[in-house]
Each structure stands twice: as structure tokens, then as C-alpha cells.
Structure 1
Amino acid sequence: MALWRGSACAGFLALAVGCVFLLEPELPGSALRSLWSSLRLGPAPVPAGPLSPEGRLAAAWDALIVQPARRWRRVAVGVNACVDVVISGVKLLQALGLSPGSGRDHAVLHSRSDLEEAFVYFMGKGAAAERFFSDKETFHDIAQTASEFPGAQHYVGGNAALIGQRFAANEDLKVLLCGPIGPKLHELLDDNVFVPPESLQEVDEFHLILEYLAGEEWGPFKAPHANRFIFSHDLSNGAMNMLEVFVSSLEEFQPDLVVLSGLHMMEGQRKELQRKRLLEVVTSISDIPTGIPVHLELASMTNRELMSSIVHQQVFPAVTSLGLNEQELLFLSQSASGPHASLSSWDGIPDVGMVSDILFWILKEHGRSKGRSSDLTRIHFHTLVYHILATVDGHWANQLAAVAAGARVAGTQACATETIDATRVSLRAPQEFMTSHSESGSRIVLNPNKPVVEWHREGITFHFTPVLVCKDPIRTVGLGDAISAEGLFYSEVYSD
């Protein structure tokens, strides 16, 4: 009798849960699964109908993302660091008494008017950009207004600090960070980040991050995507003051991976200083023991001569890996006379075949080969809706997992979730694309169940995956740095 009562009770509860599902079809599946499992009635019923493409893609990623056979133990990161003050761009400019005029780009900002014009120019395109503000007093006035503005938030900033912070989330990794680190930034850093005493300074460097939402309007301008406009009057990072401290710290720290960033900050320096500093960068990298890979993270630039120098003055051959986005990739090609350099800008989503052509050209012209003494063997390209990892064959492993992990973190960090929430992201990558435009490439049809596509071209392997774009992003700053760090974390380099 007791057994019969137990079975009847279980049947009644199962019926009740079924009724809940029928009456409340919009109830989250996680809630139903939790209720079912709490009753210990066996596996939860799966709602009828196929999973969404976003859900299938996220599940496929989870199955593909595996740890490399040999993992990093100690990662050294330098040399740009600051405090990011994040604020609504439109609200700050309104508080400064500015009105939207005609959008216009400025390589260097000299006034509030320049700031307003550059901000609306990039807001109208939905594109990220970073500029140097030349007037110290005006910048400090704007920075004070921004810092005290209701809702302004202070975060770890600077590519190196953000990459170090992302690596530090892995407790089994030891992370060294060198950069101009003031008291506020030191307070914000993860406890797992070690800062050498020589990197500490009395005053923080501040960068202002003006964010805008997808669809946000100001005057005649409407943002097609959520993004941000960054500006600063940053002299410590601009002069790369911590480069020597960084390199001198490596001998004691003994990293098995080095990440370098901050070259773009030199745009505010005179040409002679830029050339001198680049030579010192190359010398410093050459002092790093052979066999330790060096990743260079690029960022938004406007000085073609500086970019050309970075490409040609032995910086590219001295590093092992690059990280960059669509603006930086096209600007690099324009500065160094690469493929598709006649394009003034991308028309919407960057064409996959054109991106692939430029990545191929970089590795063929400046990467490692039998006739060239270059260390460059890997490029991690990221844009809003897809990522590509391009590698010279025979030097890197686990890149399928690495590109998937980089794309996954873009969706989780933008939405501020621990895992991909398929209801909060959308699949916007092209459903079909060609792998090249300069030769007869293959036509690829996207399949969410197999989200990483691989192709080969003259000894170079490409791994492509879509990104699940957050519909209502919480924060866009630092996504590129998190993507590069996550991709590196899952990468494995072969010993020479």
C-alpha cells in the first residue's frame, strides 16, 4: 500500500508539472528542469521543437572548447594601464554644453568641438575609436566632470591591465603586470595580479570611455551598434615609460608567455621619439629568451607612418602572435600597401573573404617562412559578429578551441553572464561567405551545429567562428582584450 501511495504521488506530481508546462509555455526551461529534478522524477522533459540556432551554437562551442595539452603557468603582461571612467557619451557631451553638429574624424583632439565631432562621427558608424586629447587643462576639466557625473563607473583600463585581469581569473595562473599603476588602479586589480614596485606611481592615468547603445540617437545621428569612443591625455603610457621595467622584471618572473600592448599610445609623441621608442621596443623584445612566445595586442590608430613603422621596423617579425579588430586590420593594410587597401572603410560587416586575404598577406609577407627570420605565426582577428584565427602550420595547437573560447567570452562578457544565455544573444554572422576574394576561395555555408569552420591556404590554416552578439550589452569596453586573452589561454605553442 505504501509503495502504491508513493507511485501515485509521484504520478500526480509529474502530471502537475506537465500542466505547469502546458499552461506556462514561456516559463524558463531552467526553472522547469530545477522543479523536476527537485522531485527526483528522472530526466526533465525537453520542450517540443528544435533549439534556437543560438542555443545550438553555444552547446556546440561547449563541446569544442577543451584545455590544451600543455598550459601556460606564468604570464607577463605590459605596458599600458590606466583607470577607465565609463559614462554615457551623449549625456557627458550634453553636460559639457555641446550639441551634435556635423560628424568629422580628428586624428588628434585639440578642443571640445573636436571631441563632439569625432564622437558623433563614430557613433553614426557604430564603430569603436580611440584618440589622444592634446590640451592637458581642457582634458582634466572634462575628466573631472566625467568622474563626478551620476552613474560614472571606474574600471581597470588599458589593454595590458585588462588582459592581465582576464588571465588572473584563472587561479592556477601567475600574472605579472607592468604599467603606470596609480593607487586607484592598484585597488581595482585582482589579487592574483603581481605588480613590481617599480610600476607603482602616485597618480593614476585616466581614460574616458564614452559609450552609446544600439539605436541611440543624438540629433541626426543614430548608432547602428553599441560601442564606445575613448580619449585621454595619457603621457606615461604614450611614452611607454614602463617598457624597461617590464623587460627587466621578466628574468626574475620567468614567464612562459609574454603579452605586449600600448604601441598605439605613442601617437601623441613626436616622430623622432616614435622612431626611437620603436627601436627600443624591438631591442627589448629581442632580449626576451628564445622560445617564449610574445603576443602583441594592437589598438585603434590614425597615424599611418607609425603603423607602417610597426609593420616594417622589425616589430612584426619580433613578435609571435597578433591580436586586432577590423578597423586596425584595414588600417594596417592601408598603411603598408596590403590587399584591399583602396577600401576607405568597411561597408557594414567586414567581408570574410577580404579579411582572410589581408590576414594571409600579413603572414606571407611578415610571418615565419623558410626564407625569412620572423617569429610571427599567429593572428587573432575579432569583429562584432565573427572571429578568425590564422596560423602558420606547424607552430600552434588547439586553435579550434581557442577561437571558440574567444567568441564565447565576447557573448558572456558583453551580457555580464557566466554562460551564454541564448535568449539574450543573436546570431548575426553572414550565413554564406567566400574564404577569399583575391583567389578562387571556397563558399562556406554556416551551420550552428558545427560553428567552427576550417580552411587552408599555402601553409596557413584559418579557423572561423560566429559570435553570439549580446542584444542589450552591459559593457563594451575591454571586449577585444578579453577575447585575445581567452584565445591565448586556450592556445598551445609547439616548441621549436
Structure 2
Amino acid sequence: MAGVPVKCGTIVSFCFVLYAVYFRKNDLGDVRLSPVKDHLLYLESENKVGEGKLQPKVALGYGACHDLFVNATSLLDHKELKGNPEHFNEISNKEEFLKSFAYFFKHGAAAERFVSNGKLYDELIEQALKLPDSRWAIGGNAPLMAKRFYIEGWKVLFAAKMSKNLRKYIPKDIEIVGGEENEEVKDDIHMILEYKTDETFGTLKAPRANRYIVHNDENNPLLSSLEKFDEHLPGFGPNLLVISGLQMMDNYPFKIGDGKDLRAERLDLVKKQILSQPLSTLTHFEMASYVDLELLKHLTTKILPFVDSVGMNEQELTNLYSVLEYGEVSVVADSNPRVATALDQMRKTFLLIRRQNELYESKRKLTRIHVHTLAYQAIMTVKNSNWKRTEAAAAKASLTAHRYVCNSQDIALDKCKLLLDDSFSTTTDNDNTSRVFFEPTKPVSCWDEEINGEYVDICVAPVLICTEAQLTAGAGDNISAAGLVLQVEK
């Protein structure tokens, strides 16, 4: 892969899995699909997870829920939408719900919002259950990532308070901690409003398949499984600790009494939990859709300075960079950003978090960023860090993106497309002369850079986009976990 190193300062490794935007066709379709698929599968087959004494162990927190999947445009009537689409930090009535959904629908952007009106939420759930194609599944970042790690051969511990009914969705070999024995638990319900590419809502058309999530959680925002998780971590001895589900705190009405901020106190306990782990245990923070600026600022001071790795999609990357650089929330971003744009934001975000490492005198330094978009997977790792096999990890994440969204282990070329051009620029800098040429027979492109005195590896790989999407919610969790699967070795 020919690429000119970009002088940025610290050296990290980036791995991107890319989709092709302009694709060459013959009578059979895009001629690049077959060689791309073959090489991605080759990289996956040549890189295995350790077994026996070499089996890696992962511990994940926090929370779980029941996901209720519905077709968004079947549940909602566009005729009830009065006025223009609009963004709201939380949903308090039906008008705000419709405007908020429409806002993200027209951008094809994923979003998650807290519904403060319990009566409205119960009514929506009741309506959704009447739809013939509504279905239940387990939800939450931690359990979905836990299942992916388990499928890929890891030993798994995860923290959540769950009912016996919800536990049935989890493989028996996964250890669940968080509640008391025989404790009666009422599961939180998240409603997942899914839509497909080009689906319409009145005059609006979705530019890509995605989902809009609403919840009225009572259990997950409090991270109620945290203390039990703490008790089990020393005995489990994980190689990797994953922090996720903190977006459940977003705009949740925490009661602040006696001048105390309960949310800040709970996040301080998360920080303490991370710091209690030996430096040999790698830590990963999974970003999500956040709009509460106060919570985001807490994350930049209590969580991000103390983790080794961060995973996110293109919307979350833009938001995280905006908060770190400008102290502002970015509600929506380009749903299919150029590779150069994402790379630039990753570099800047890396430097900003590294500054936080120094400011808070953290013994850990950020050494990995994984960004997944519709068109590509991007993994950046610092050279000589504890993260291994970045090229293979990008390929694994790409394959998982297709398999999960198509809901099939088989990769059928007639259900694939690429959104990656024949070449791409590595930065948007005006004086940049570096271009990477996409080679179908070696699709994961990797190169070295220097970022502020640190050397990093950058890899970019194409995703075989599933053209017949079956699942959207949970894709990011599965992709992020798959990206980590091959990067941790005992």
C-alpha cells in the first residue's frame, strides 16, 4: 500500500475498512467485490483467538435492557408531524418525539433519546406491540458486545441487573453479575425504530438505513450493577475491561440533594474501577449518542483520560472532537464522511485526549481509536503498544459489519456493494500530496505516521456494505467488539 506519511506529531496505527463510492462495473457488477471478500476472509482465517491457557478474558459493564424493534414508518404517521424537523435533548411530548425522529431520519443519523414522559412512552410501547412485525431482543452495549466476544472465543464476564427472562438471551457460559440472588428485576425497555435506505416519511427520504432509539430507563442510568461488578473483577482477572452504557445517564433526571451530584458520584466510581485494574489490563471506552454537555464534560475528565482505547461511529467521533476542542455538542454529522475527514478528526481527537492524559497525570495513555462508518472501519494504534494485529482487526470488523447487518454468516456478493473510490486522500490539508490507492486484492491499506512525536500505524479497509439490511441496532457494538477481538493477546 503506497502512502506518504503525514507529519502530525505522534505515531499511531490506523486501520480502515472502506466501502467504495464510485465502483467499476461489468455485466456481473462491481469487479472488485470478489477479491475484496477473498482477502478479508484470508486475513480473518490467518488470525485466530487464543485457546486454552491463551484464551483472553474480557469484563464488560454496565447494564442491559429489552429491545423492542419496530419499523419506524409503520409506527409513526407523518401526517401528525406539525412544523419542521427539530432536535431535542430529551422527549417530553408526542410533538417533540415526531420532530426529533424526523430530524435524524432525514440525515440518516443514529440517535438515542430519553423520554421523560412516562405515560407517552408506555403508550408508544403499547402501539408498537400491536404491529405484526415488532420483535423482542436483548439490548444494551455490554450484553451485545459480550455475546460477540463469546462467539469469537473469549471468556466473558459482564455486569447487569437482569430478570430471569432476559437472561435467557445470554449464552450460559457468559458469567453475569450485578444483582442479588433471586432479586426481582424489572427490565428497562428500549424501543428501536428502524428504517431502510430511501424509505420515506412524508416528504423526507432516508439517505441510509439506520435507527432511532428511545427509552425511559430507571435502572441503567444508575449503573446499578457497578458494585457487584467491582467484587468480581479481581477474581476474574480480565485482559480487557470494556466501559459502555454510560449514555443511559444522558439527560436522565438525577435527583441532586444536599448539593451532591449523584451522576458525578457514580462516574467517579467508574473511574475508581478503571484505576483499580493493573496496567496490564487494557481498557476500552465505547462511545454512544450523547447530547448532555455536562455529562460529556464529565466523560472527558473522569473516563477518557484513563482508558487505552476508544470506539465510536462517525457521528460520535464528530461529537467527541467538538466537545474536546470547542466545549460544544455536535448533534448530527455527515453520515458518510470522506476518509480524509475522519482521519483528520481521529488525529486531532487523539492529541486532545493525550493532553487529558497529561493533565490528569494518568498512568494510562490513549493508544487506540476505532471508528466505524457505513463505508469503512478505521483502527489507529500506537506503535509498540499492547495492541496487536491491527490489519487483521480492521478486516474482522469489516466482515462483522456485513454479517451482522445482513444477519447471515455467509457473504453473498449479490448483497454487497463498496463505497470506496479507487483512491483516497489521507488528510484534508491543502498541501497534502498523499493519496492511497485502493487495491482489491489487498484491500486493507496500512501505513505509518508521526503525530506529535509518537509513531502510529494507520490501516484502512473496505466494508462490504450489506444492501439488504436486516439489523441496524447493535451493529456498532458488534463491530467494535470484533475490532478488539484480535488486538488483545495473552
Q: Please classify the TM superposition score into its range, dividing by the shorter chain length.
A: 0.7 to 0.9
Aligned to 1:131: 113
Counterpart among 443, 451, 468 of residue 451 in structure 1: 443
Aligned to 1:440: 432
What's the CA shift for 1:223? 0.8
Counterpart among 288, 303, 308 of residue 299 in structure 1: 288
Aligned to 1:318: 306
Q: Are the aligned partners of 2:160 and 2:177 in contact in 1 as well (CA < 8 Å)?
A: no
| CA spacing shift, 1:189–1:144, aligned 2, 3 Å | farther
What is the alpha-carbon distance in structure 2 between the residues aligned to residue 215 and residue 417 of structure 1?
23
Q: Are the aligned partners of 1:100 and 1:120 in contact in 2 as well (CA < 8 Å)?
A: no
My pick for the range that moved more, 66-75 or 408-417, is: 66-75
Aligned to 1:114: 96
2:318 matches 1:330: yes
SS at match of 1:87: strand
Aligned to 2:7: none
Aligned to 1:462: 458
Aligned to 2:390: 399
Aligned length: 443
| CA spacing shift, 1:197–1:130, aligned 2, 3 Å | closer
Amino acid at match of 1:103: P
Q: Are the aligned partners of 2:239 and 2:488 in contact in 1 as well (CA < 8 Å)?
A: no
Aligned to 1:414: 405
| CA spacing shift, 1:197–1:386, aligned 2, 3 Å | closer
What's the CA shift for 1:104? 1.0
Aligned to 2:368: 378
What's the CA shift for 1:245? 1.7
What is the alpha-carbon distance in structure 1 between the residues aligned to residue 322 and residue 315 of structure 2?
11
What is the alpha-carbon distance in structure 1 between the residues aligned to residue 39 and residue 363 of structure 2?
39
What is the alpha-carbon distance in structure 1 between the residues aligned to residue 167 and residue 81 of structure 2?
36
My pick for the range that moved more, 347-356 or 328-337, is: 347-356
What is the alpha-carbon distance in structure 2 between the residues aligned to residue 274 and residue 202 of structure 1?
22
SS at match of 1:440: coil
2:184 matches 1:196: no
Within 5 Å, which residues of 2 pair with 1:20-419? 52-65=31-44, 66-67=46-47, 72-94=55-77, 98-99=80-81, 101-170=83-152, 172-196=153-177, 198=179, 201-267=184-250, 268-270=252-254, 272-311=261-300, 313-337=301-325, 345-367=332-354, 373-395=363-385, 396-419=387-410
What is the alpha-carbon distance in structure 1 between the residues aligned to residue 186 and residue 263 of structure 2?
24
Aligned to 1:13: none
Runs of at least 5 residues in structure 2 that lack an aligned partner in the other structure: 1-26
What is the alpha-carbon distance in structure 2 between the residues aligned to residue 49 and residue 143 of structure 1?
45
What is the alpha-carbon distance in structure 2 between the residues aligned to residue 406 and residue 197 of structure 1?
29
My pick for the range that moved more, 121-130 or 199-208, is: 199-208
SS at match of 1:454: strand
Aligned to 1:38: none
SS at match of 1:492: coil
What's the CA shift for 1:345? 4.8
What is the alpha-carbon distance in structure 2 between the residues aligned to residue 143 and residue 344 of structure 1?
26
Q: Are the aligned partners of 2:161 and 2:179 in contact in 1 as well (CA < 8 Å)?
A: no
Q: Are the aligned partners of 2:291 and 2:329 in contact in 1 as well (CA < 8 Å)?
A: no
What's the CA shift for 1:429? 2.4
Runs of at least 5 residues in structure 1 that lack an aligned partner in the other structure: 1-47
Amino acid at match of 2:323: S
| CA spacing shift, 1:149–1:321, aligned 2, 3 Å | same
| CA spacing shift, 1:331–1:49, aligned 2, 3 Å | closer
Amino acid at match of 1:63: Y
> TM-score with structure 2 length normalisation?
0.84
Q: Are the aligned partners of 1:72 and 1:257 in contact in 2 as well (CA < 8 Å)?
A: no
| CA spacing shift, 1:176–1:441, aligned 2, 3 Å | farther
Amino acid at match of 1:64: L
What is the alpha-carbon distance in structure 2 between the residues aligned to residue 432 and residue 161 of structure 1?
38
What is the alpha-carbon distance in structure 2 between the residues aligned to residue 221 and residue 97 of structure 1?
12
What's the CA shift for 1:443? 1.0
Amino acid at match of 1:219: G
SS at match of 1:188: coil
| CA spacing shift, 1:327–1:248, aligned 2, 3 Å | same
Amino acid at match of 2:456: I
Higher RCO by CA contacts (8 Å cutoff, separation 6 or greater): 2
| CA spacing shift, 1:452–1:285, aligned 2, 3 Å | same
| TM superposition outliers: structure 1 runs of 4+ over 6 Å | 48-51, 341-344, 368-372
Query: RMSD over aligned Cα, in angstroms?
Result: 2.6
What is the alpha-carbon distance in structure 1 between the residues aligned to residue 471 and residue 405 of structure 2?
6
What is the alpha-carbon distance in structure 2 between the residues aligned to residue 442 and residue 235 of structure 1?
50
Q: Are the aligned partners of 2:210 and 2:472 in contact in 1 as well (CA < 8 Å)?
A: yes
Aligned to 1:425: 416
Q: Are the aligned partners of 1:451 and 1:466 in contact in 2 as well (CA < 8 Å)?
A: yes
Structure with more of its chain in helix, by fraction = 1
Counterpart among 459, 463, 472 of residue 476 in structure 1: 472
SS at match of 2:212: strand
What's the CA shift for 1:289? 2.8
What is the alpha-carbon distance in structure 2 between the residues aligned to residue 314 and residue 120 of structure 1?
34
What is the alpha-carbon distance in structure 2 between the residues aligned to residue 53 and residue 329 of structure 1?
29
My pick for the range that moved more, 325-334 or 200-209, is: 200-209
What's the CA shift for 1:404? 0.6
Q: Are the aligned partners of 1:326 and 1:383 in contact in 2 as well (CA < 8 Å)?
A: yes
Aligned to 1:492: 488
> TM-score with structure 1 length normalisation?
0.83
What is the alpha-carbon distance in structure 2 between the residues aligned to residue 360 and residue 392 of structure 1?
12
What is the alpha-carbon distance in structure 1 between the residues aligned to residue 109 and residue 49 of structure 2?
37
My pick for the range that moved more, 320-329 or 373-382, is: 373-382
Identical residues among aligned pairs (%): 30
Aligned to 2:12: none
